[in-house]
Amino acid sequence: MSVLVNLIAFVVALGLLVAIHEFGHFWVARRVGVRVLRYSIGFGRVVWRRTGGDGTEYALSAIPLGGYVKMLDEREGDVAPEERHRAFNRQPLWARNAILFAGPGFNFLFALFAYWAISVIGTTELRPVLGEVVPESPAAEAGLAEGQEIVAVAGEETLSWDDVLMRLLAEGAGNEALSLAVETPDGIRRDLTLDVAAIGPLGEKPNILGALGLRPWRPTIEPVVGELLPGGPAATAGLTAGDRIIAVAGEPVDEWQTLVEVVRARPGEAVDVTVRRDGERREFAVTLGRVEGEDGDTGRLGVRPRVEDSAYAGMRRTVQHGPLAAIAQATGATWEASALTVKLLVQMVTGDASVKNLSGPINIAQYAGQSATLGVVPFLRFLAIVSISLGILNLLPVPVLDGGHLLYNGIEWLRGRPLSEAAQATGQQIGLVLLGLLMAVAFYNDLARLFGPS
């Protein structure tokens, strides 16, 4: 994945979501009569600015990692007597709360729109049919077997592997067992119980399905090179698209999965790769690449298979809804993603989930680039998740965030008067420290994922 693609996708994604968040504050402030002095996206050096006819300055800065809406406020400077009714601090509590909540609220609305668009556009999903089930794994103990299709998790219908993963995360975290409904190839439905506690916290598993012993069905793919990764070991050695790989390091290869297993077991090794090209047998000396992972290093050849569409016949389904039906689907998806995010945050605070789940800008940029290259629907899904995370993060009761200001307003409502400026300033300092620690942990996690096993 190109670093440039990651960077561009990250800037576009974060810039868009920050702009939406700040526009929520801006739009509601204007509606309740507060004067907005500045609407700014980004920090650092201003690269563009314009003053509108309404007197608001609109600005774009060089670092798209945030933004702000500056409103008229007597606590930040002198305000002319004729303008005091338009100052933020002069507004009733309900109006100030509405302005503060509008930023996160617009993030949730955007996620709702993104999920609605995905539902209307439609997606082609791989049915959650099981391939080989690992012996003596939680899946095998539950009675799951190859060829069964998972049709429900915890009572909720699952149409794809994405649905299965989401339900496992949402319902499995904190629970010892999960109910599954499967359908056998001959149409018989069975209800099973999966022991998820046996593998520890699901949120810490990079491969939840593998940890449970589940392997999605896959077709038998011929070991024919469909595409070579530029600069990869195979391309460097001289392999070309269309080569049929028949042996690696002397081990026969009869299908693509065998090739994967043989290569993965030899990280960094120099091996002979035997291929059949135009009816002739040829050998190439290849130094395999090395990929670091939690379970140790694995080898990489740098090739992708040639897969015929007919290989997936009957295993794909199109999931699509009309504009009205998509509203219910989008609402459910937004609620489920929001609830899962809150649940994981709570579990990180209580120690039931690891802080390794936190992601920083590096990891987010990688996901942004990957989703953008996969197409509109994956990028929209990525934007929806990040938008929800941004909304929930800003609602945390931490001073300097929207949730912290809402907390101050709640205290003011209970006391009948606001906190002193000194108390609020102390709270802001504490909030900055907490936010700094949060970002430090997220950045550390990014580096740990990037440079080695975590």
Indicate whether 454 pLDDT > 50.
Answer: no
Q: Which two tokens stand for residue 56?
A: 């608001």
Q: What is the pLDDT of residue 20?
A: 95
Indicate whether 205 pLDDT > 70.
Answer: no
Domain limits, the chain: 93-122+322-454, 138-219, 225-306
Mean model confidence pLDDT for the chain: 86
Question: CA-to-CA distance for 187 and 182, rounded, in angstroms?
Answer: 9
Domain 138-219 and domain 225-306, same fold? Reply is yes
Q: What is the pLDDT of residue 2?
A: 64
Helices of type H across 194-255: 208-212, 233-237
What pLDDT, in 10s, does the model give residues 114-150? Answer: 999 999 999 888 889 998 888 988 889 989 999 999 9
Homologous superfamily of domain range 225-306: PDZ domain (2.30.42.10)
Indicate whether 197 pLDDT > 80.
Answer: no
C-alpha distance from residue 417 to each of 93, 409, 413 (Å): 11, 9, 7
Cβ pair 203, 169 in contact under 8 A:
yes
Give the rounded percent of residues in the chain with a pLDDT score beyond 70.
90
Q: What is the pLDDT of residue 243?
A: 94
Question: CA-to-CA distance for 135 and 142, rounded, in angstroms?
Answer: 11
Indicate whether 7 pLDDT > 70.
Answer: yes
User: ∠ CA 439-385-359 to the nearest 5 degrees?
Assistant: 25
Question: CA-to-CA distance for 27 and 143, rounded, in angstroms?
Answer: 55
Task: Kindly write down the DSSP assignment for every residue of 363-377, as one continuous string.
Answer: HHHHHHHHHHHH-HH
Indicate whether 367 pLDDT > 80.
Answer: no
What pLDDT, in 10s, does the model give residues 13-45? Answer: 888 999 999 999 999 999 999 999 999 998 888
- Which has the closest alpha carbon to 391: 108, 16, 65, 114? 108
Q: What is the pLDDT of residue 19?
A: 93
Cβ pair 291, 298 in contact under 8 A:
yes
What pLDDT, in 10s, does the model give residues 282-307? Answer: 999 999 988 765 556 788 899 999 88
What pLDDT, in 10s, does the model give residues 160-187? Answer: 888 888 888 777 665 678 889 999 988 8
Which residues are known catalytic residues? 22
Indicate whether 453 pLDDT > 50.
Answer: no
Instruction: Average the pLDDT over 271-276 and give the result.
Output: 94
Q: What is the pLDDT of residue 313?
A: 74
What phi-psi label fits residue 268: left (phi over 0), alpha (psi between -120 and 50 degrees) or beta? left
Homologous superfamily of domain range 138-219: PDZ domain (2.30.42.10)
Q: What is the pLDDT of residue 1?
A: 46
pTM of the model: 0.76
What pLDDT, in 10s, does the model give residues 63-115? Answer: 777 889 999 998 888 888 898 999 999 999 999 999 999 999 999 999 999 99
